[in-house]
Chain A
Amino acid sequence: MEFVVSKREFMKALGRVQSVADKRSAMPVLTNMLIASEGSSSLRLAATDLLISITSHTAAEVRKGGSVALPARSLYEMVKNLPEGEVHVTIAPNYSARVSGGRRRYDLVGMPGEDFPALPSPGQTELRDIPADALSELVGYTSFSMSTDDTRPHLAGALFEADANILRMVTTDGHRLSKAEKQMTEQGAKLSILIPQKGINEIKRLLDEIKSEKSPDGLGVVSLGRAGSNLFVKRDETVVAVKLIDATFPPYAQVIPAASERKARVNRAEMLSAMRAVSVVASDRSSGVKLQFSRSKLIISSENPDLGAGTDEMAIELTGSDLTVGFNSKYVMDVLSALSCEDVIVELSGELDPGVLRIPDSDEFVGVVMPMRI
């Protein structure tokens, strides 16, 4: 196998793929990435950790076709250190690769491409186009409240639902829940899947790359669909495949309070800053803060028997009677930081009933946080 490729393009594709390659895998082939020729002018690069796989393409002048598996991290570092311009790669019959650019040259031990595990493919499944900015918002509004505990797979991921013209993402770690929805102008296929935490992170990365392109035409679309037990997210020549969680997400609708007795309109940035300030004294793990809502004022305070106390207050508009309620400050701050609106609506009933945060005059986001008994 032999090909010539521009360093800039090659680096882009390598960067996309190499992070998935498993650096510490007990299955040595997984520390590699696959490079295979497709026709005479394209290379396919792929890596997987058996849970996530990423395939990307790059234009290249293929002089001799074939495939090879090369150590992902090392190859990336080597190409990075080559001078700008063309990179020339030749694979010897014993699968050792010579990677050269300018007068620099590396030799790298490889494995036959056939040893690389077969990667999932969407096959004939039709992928649905959705605006990248909508997906990005769904992820941003919800990803912070996934559980990070992989032994509880039903919570360690995000529920993604697509109805005819609505997209929805919901996450919960058992203490709090976030739900985001986006109206779509176009109809599409229905879908209801549970995407693991790691998959969400990979989708985030793909979206970040799209954002960094800063295209004047906006973010464009990504195509997405399920085939078998995998979710496929495709953008141009890059495909991310995520093995879905086979578990049942909790019945989230039951958890979102249908009505509330009290409603407060609060300046988001001000509340976030007050919470942050006061939680400095909250005892580290439980980080409990007290919120005293009254007609025109919200007092946020925290007490720590080992340390001292802190307090701050701000003007609000409250409908309903006064209420004091305790929250884990981190849970509330996570919601406030994920939003970008000027004000938020805080809905409360009793001191032990779940609190709800919303964007004013919008159904796009619902954050539910269980109070703490303080």
Chain B
Amino acid sequence: MKSLPSIALLPPDVANQIAAGEVVERPASIVKELVENSLDAGARTITVSVDGGGLARLSVTDDGGGMNREDLALSVVRHATSKIRSAEDLFGVASYGFRGEALASIGSVSRLTLTSRTADADEGWEVRLEGNASPQVRPVGCAVGTTVTIEDLFFNTPARRKFLRTVQTEWAACADVVARLALPRPNVRFVLRKDGKTLREYLRRDTIAERVQELWSDDTLTSIDGYRGSVRVQAFLGPPERARSGTAGIAVYVNQRFVKDKLLLRAISQAYGSTLDGGRYPPGAMLIEVPAAQLDVNVHPQKAEVRFAQQNEVFSAVLTLLRDGLATAPWARSLVGAPTERARDDGWDARFSGVPYAPAPTHAPRPYNLLPSDLGETRPLFERPRAESTDAETPERSVITAASETADEVDPWGLAGASIALRALPTPDTSVVPAPEDAEREYSVYSPAVSLPSDVGLPERTTFASLRFVAQVRRMFFVCETDWGLVMLDQHAAAERLVFDRLRRAYALRDVRVQPLLVHETLEASAREVALAEEHRAALESIGFELTPIGPNTLAVRAVPALLVRADPRRLARDVLAEFARQGSDFSRALDLVLATMACHGSIRAGDDVAPEEARALLASLDDCDFGGHCPHGRPVVWSMKWSELERKVGR
């Protein structure tokens, strides 16, 4: 029997490499640490140069305060920081960095050079770190400020190097990080260089709003700014029809720190009410300011998570301010003014057609009332039941009822009762997308207490074609009758299943028909999305897309699948890319989800008028589908009730 090794304290260089694993995951995480240091140093201009995706060379130059010789030598030692002095300081951290880990960690896995000069010194100093060799300090001529250069990243940790993605993807991630950091700091100029060329420059601006406009030049954002108690909320959010699946299109900041906070994301989606499908978020940014003392940022090594001391206050402040702000958004108003011009999105119509008009408030000339207070009658009686059978594409499915104590007051359109079983996705590839993104999908809004016995799916030997279509109600559901009972179908889910099936069959037969566009659509995309489109070009073509990068941040949509000609090519392309991003590079795993996303676009939506003939044709075709009873996301399509049950209910 082998004896167990005895316990020994790790040498500092090994400890540094382990710490590096937490902080330095990929070039983009280094960019983040270094740019944050530059911001903390009071820089007015920050230049980020990325060569070879950051693996060959990466440098960050600022014109901030700089360091003197002593500080410079100390800065590369672990837990050396100028930003806090004691454990008490950890609450109320106002600077970005504070752990004092970054430079030591980065230095342990690369060749790092640090040059710096303070304004009052005649000369600068340079310190070099190479792997675990001891630092060398020497005088050098340089401008005021600090430059950190990293070469040969991960040269001594081949395991880490192996997990990096293509150069293009790593570059894209760096570009995203810079955009993310630039947003809350409009008074700082950011220059982003790639392989020696300046690719993007964020000029100094007076307000965050101007910077945001620069970043989202493609979208019309509604600006919201307000206080509630000690919480300030500034938000710039797009209309619901521009929403994208996943959180890649939305940036949330707390005290200028970019975070992935489930609570705040939930507040955003609730403020949009039923106009957003689960898991979709509007484009834009939200910045929250809370007193530093009420915030704990020391939860996560990359500081991506925060904890609020007054969680409920923050949530309700954000929700109230967003909801009020969005009610006056131009898109919301135009919907009120001209409902026929409404966005064709799930939920819109539920809001307008299901809601009885408030009587004219004594000839008030401005009855723009988006938020009727009494919506009791529109709350559905039954909870949409959870899917019971499993189908192969979505192995896991869950309904988790969120804490509902706030749901009553926070559900502006009273539609929360339509509880929806959301798919739980396979664990996302964490090297691409940080895990918290998808956590948002796991809860469903509030289930009402009243629930009737119900049946999902159709009894055996009942075909969809045999259902007698009676009517379309709320432009959302088909009501059908049979000899044995009443059957209701979710029109969007049913149509989606059908289109999905057709797409999958066409793909399997290598017979995806492609409709090239006469007028190419261009879309502003993040560098990462551009990289994805390049990386997956062949896969995209196999499902009927042609997406060509025509600039560092622009994609052209040149062709779409012929089955989806009615969909907006830009939105379709965005969602498909988002799905690829979520799934990583494994195309076969992504395929079904990508096709499901596509099917969603090509289908009849909630809110579309459906003629009886069209409804009947849809019912007839459903019989040919596998799993016709569920939409490709696993939601049930059908709900039925036996006549006997109905009779019992009404006391017959």
Residues of chain A at the chain B interface (Cβ within 8 Å)? 22, 24-30, 49-51, 111-112, 115, 149-152, 155, 172, 174-177, 198, 250, 255, 283, 285-286, 288, 305-306, 326, 328, 352, 354, 368-374
Distance between B198 CB and nearest chain A CB, rounded to angstroms: 28
B569–A174 contact, CB under 8 A? yes
Taking a contact as CB atoms under 8 Å apart, the answer to whether B339 and A198 are in contact is no
Cα distance A30–B337 when bound, in Å? 8
Chain B contact residue count (CB 8 A cutoff):
46
Q: Which of A30, A149, A328 is in CB contact (< 8 Å) with B515? A: A328
Give 7 closest A-B pairs by Cβ, nearest first.
Answer: A286-B562, A50-B337, A373-B514, A370-B518, A28-B360, A26-B336, A250-B519
Task: Scan B399-414; emit 1 where CB is below 8 A from any A CB, else 0.
Answer: 0000000000000000
Residue of A nearest to B514 (CB): A373
B242 closest partner in A (C-beta): A151
CB of B565 closer than 8 Å to a CB of A: yes
CB distance from B496 to the nearest CB of A (A): 13
Contacts of B562 in A (CB 8 A): 285-286, 288, 328, 372
| CB of B650 closer than 8 Å to a CB of A | no
B189 within 8 A of A: no
Which B residues touch A370, using CB under 8 A? 515-518
Q: Does B511 contact A (CB under 8 A)?
A: yes
- Distance of A285 Cα from B614 Cα, bound (Å): 12
Chain B 361-377, CB-CB to A under 8 Å as 1, else 0, gives: 00101011110000000
Interchain nearest-CB distance for A230 vs B (Å): 15
Question: Which B residues are in CB contact (< 8 Å) with A151?
Answer: 241-242, 343-344, 568, 571
Q: What 0/1 readout, one digit per residue, does chain B (504-520) give for beta carbons within 8 Å of chain A?
A: 00000101011111110
Query: Other CB < 8 Å A-B pairs besides A151-B242, A285-B562, 15 of them?
Result: A22-B338, A24-B352, A26-B369, A27-B336, A27-B368, A28-B360, A111-B360, A112-B363, A150-B341, A172-B519, A175-B518, A283-B502, A288-B513, A328-B565, A372-B516
Min CB gap B217→A, angstroms: 14
Closest to A30 in B: B337
Check B588 for interface membership: any CB of A closer than 8 A.
no
Whether B632 sits at the interface, judged by CB under 8 Å, is no
Chain A residues with Cβ under 8 A from B157's Cβ? Answer: none
B602 within 8 A of A: yes
What is the CA–CA distance of A348 and B624 in the complex, to the nearest angstrom? 39
Query: Closest residue of chain A to B349, judged by CB?
Result: A24
Footprint of A on B, CB under 8 Å? 241-242, 334, 336-344, 352-353, 357-360, 363, 365, 367-370, 499, 502, 509, 511, 513-519, 521, 559, 562-563, 565-566, 568-569, 571, 602, 624
Residue of B nearest to A197 (CB): B341
Determine the distance from Cα of A112 to Cα of B59 in the docked complex, in whole angstroms.
Answer: 69
Contacts of B363 in A (CB 8 A): 111-112, 115
CB distance from B374 to the nearest CB of A (A): 15
The answer on a CB contact under 8 Å between A26 and B516 is: no
Q: Which of B365, B511, B518 has most chain A Cβ within 10 Å?
A: B518
CA distance A328 to B563 in the complex (A): 11
A167 to B353, alpha carbons, bound, how many Å? 41
A354 partner residues in chain B, CB cutoff 8 A: 518
Given contacts A175-B565, A286-B563, contact A372 B339 (CB under 8 A): no
A285 to B519, CA, bound (A): 20
Min CB gap A23→B, angstroms:
9
Q: Is the CB of B360 within 8 A of A25?
A: no
6 A-B Cβ contacts within 8 A?
Answer: A26-B357, A49-B337, A50-B334, A174-B517, A288-B562, A371-B516
**A174 x B521 contact (CB < 8 A):** yes
Distance between A240 CB and nearest chain B CB, rounded to angstroms: 16
Report yes or no: B565 in contact with A286, Cβ–Cβ below 8 A: yes
**B563 near A174: Cβ-Cβ < 8 Å:** no
Q: Is the interface of B mostly helix, strand, loop or mixed?
A: mixed
Query: Is B357 a contact of A115 with CB atoms below 8 Å?
Result: no
Q: Is the CB of B517 within 8 A of A372?
A: no
Question: Which residues does chain B contribute within 8 Å of A50, judged by CB atoms?
Answer: 334, 337-338
Q: With A175-B565, A305-B511 known to touch, is A373 a contact of B516 (CB < 8 Å)?
A: yes
When the two chains form their complex, are residues B337 and A175 in contact, meaning their CB atoms are under 8 A apart? no
Contact B337 A372 (CB under 8 A): no
Residue of A nearest to B617 (CB): A284
Bound: A28/B363 CA distance, A: 10
Shortest Cβ distance from B370 into A: residue: A26
B337 touches A25 (CB 8 A): yes
- Cα distance A247–B281 when bound, in Å? 25
Say yes or no: A51-B338 contact (C-beta < 8 A), given A115-B365, A151-B344.
yes
A255 surroundings in chain B (CB, below 8 A)? 518-519
Give Cα A30–Cα B363 distance, bound, in whole angstroms.
12
Does the CB pair A368–B515 fall under 8 Å? no
Give chain A residues whose Cβ lies under 8 Å from the Cβ of B353. 24
Q: Which residues on A sit within 8 Å (CB–CB) of B369?
A: 26
Per the bound structure, the CA–CA distance linking A219 and B566 in Å amounts to 36
CA A155 – CA B570 in complex, angstroms? 13
Once the chains are docked, how many angstroms separate the CA of A28 from the CA of B568? Answer: 32
A149 neighbours in B (Cβ, 8 Å): 344, 566, 568
Question: For residue A374, which residues in chain B have a CB less than 8 angstroms away from its CB?
Answer: 513
B212 to chain A, nearest CB (A): 21
Inter-subunit contact A285/B602 (CB<8 Å): yes
Instruction: For A174, list chain B residues within 8 Å (CB).
Output: 517-519, 521, 569
The interface residues of chain A lying within 8 Å CB-to-CB of B518 are 172, 174-177, 255, 354, 368-370
Expressed in whole angstroms, the Cα–Cα distance for A352 and B517 within the complex equals: 10
Contacts of A112 in B (CB 8 A): 363
In the assembled complex, the CB of B282 is this many whole angstroms from the nearest CB of chain A, namely 13
- The answer to whether A25 and B339 touch across the interface, beta carbons within 8 angstroms, is yes
Q: Residues of A contacting B521 with CB < 8 Å?
A: 174
Rounded to whole Å, the gap between the CB of B616 and the closest CB of chain A is 13
Decide if B563 touches A152 in the complex (CB within 8 Å): no
- Give A152 to B341 CA distance when docked, in angstroms: 12
Contact assessment for B341 and A29 in the assembled complex, using a CB-CB cutoff below 8 Å: no
A300 to B334, CA, bound (A): 45
Report A-chain residues with C-beta under 8 Å of the C-beta of B370.
26
**Are B344 and A175 in touch, CB under 8 angstroms?**
no
Closest approach, in angstroms, between the C-beta of B186 and any C-beta of chain A?
27
Given the complex, which residues of A lie within 8 Å of B341, measured CB to CB?
Answer: 51, 150, 198
Known contacts A27-B337, A112-B363: A372-B513 contact under CB 8 Å: yes
Which residues of A sit under 8 angstroms from B358, Cβ to Cβ? 28
Residues of A close to B565: CB separation below 8 A:
175, 285-286, 328
**Known A112-B363, A285-B563, A286-B565; contact A26-B515, beta-carbon cutoff 8 A:** no
Counting chain A CB atoms within 10 Å of each CB, the highest count among B344, B358, B360, B569 belongs to B360
Closest partner residue, chain B, to A368 (CB atom): B518
Q: Complex: how many Å from CA A210 to CA B91?
A: 76
Pair B519/A177 contact, Cβ less than 8 Å: yes
**What separation, in Å, do the CA atoms of A22 and B337 have in the docked complex?**
9
- Most central of B502, B517, B565 by chain A CB within 10 Å: B565
Taking each of B342, B370, B515, which has the highest tally of chain A beta carbons within 10 Å of its own beta carbon? Answer: B515
Select which of A25, A111, A175, A285 is within 8 A of B517 by beta carbon: A175
A293 to B359, CA, bound (A): 64
A154 to B134, CA, bound (A): 62
Chain B min CB distance to A49 (Å): 5
- In the complex, what residue of chain B is closest to A51 when comparing beta carbons? B338
A51 to chain B, nearest CB (A): 5
